[in-house]
Amino acid sequence: MTSGIINYICDQYGISNYSINEDMSVSVDGDVFLYKMDLIEIPIKFKKVSGYFDCSCNGLTSLINSPIEVLGSFNCGNNNLRSLKHCPEYVGGNFQCINNKNGLSSLKNCPKYVGKDFLCGYNKLPSLEGIGSIDGHLVCDGNDLTSFRGCHDLICNIYCHRNNITSFEGLSEFFEQTINLSNNPLDEIYSLFKDPRCIYYLKEYDVIRNMTIVQDRLEEVFYTLNMEVPNYFNLKNYKLV
């Protein structure tokens, strides 16, 4: 691709304040808005974008040509992606890949660092393995998650409404952040306490064993947290033994 063609494409898509690098990639001092432009691919190769990069609501099946570094937020949601290959390595703001029509099934190749929120809801993720460092919230509603595998290094608020999570496997030993488990089997255990400190002791006392709850160990968690033990445990998803 020649510099003349790159200039033409940048003009066509309203991209300004850019420079062309030796490898014919483009660095932009500002934002890039490719939102809802019926794209099947990102039209030129980007390298670094100092602002926001939005390629959402297109027909993208690949993120090839995405910038390596985005200092603002990066949004590739509402496309046809099955993979995050070629996505930026560094995102200073939010990273958003929600609601891809083909359903992302892996977070492999996702950014190594996200400075704010990581939003990957309404895909087909069976696990969170591959996720990098996040300084904001993790929002993974509406996937196929059954545990928190892949989250062992994350210390952030987690919102995972509408999954099939049955255990705290994968969470950091010292996780005490906000967690939303609504519409997950595990929520009926967590809602007994409504206190993230219970997670450590539920794991430490080996309370949850597949879909079985060991009652005396569950009661020990209440004692440890100085909470009153309920007279009756009305569990619908787990067997109490």
Owner of token pair 């400190």:
197
Domain ranges of the chain: 1-144
Q: Do residues 123 and 82 make contact, with C-beta atoms less than 8 angstroms apart?
A: no
Nearest to 200 by CA among 166, 232, 225, 180: 225
Nearest to 92 by CA among 76, 112, 116, 109: 116
Question: What is the reported pLDDT for 162?
Answer: 97
d(CA 22, CA 35): 27
Q: Do residues 235 and 188 make contact, with C-beta atoms less than 8 angstroms apart?
A: yes
Residue 17 reports pLDDT greater than 90: yes
Question: What is the reported pLDDT for 153?
Answer: 81
d(CA 78, CA 114): 20
Residue 219 reports pLDDT greater than 90: yes
Across the range 124-153, mean pLDDT stands at 94
Question: What is the reported pLDDT for 101?
Answer: 83
Residue 151 reports pLDDT greater than 90: no
Question: How much is the mean pLDDT over the chain?
Answer: 95
Across the range 204-218, mean pLDDT stands at 96
Owner of token pair 């987690």:
158
d(CA 16, CA 149): 42
Nearest to 130 by CA among 141, 120, 115: 120
Residue 74 reports pLDDT greater than 90: yes
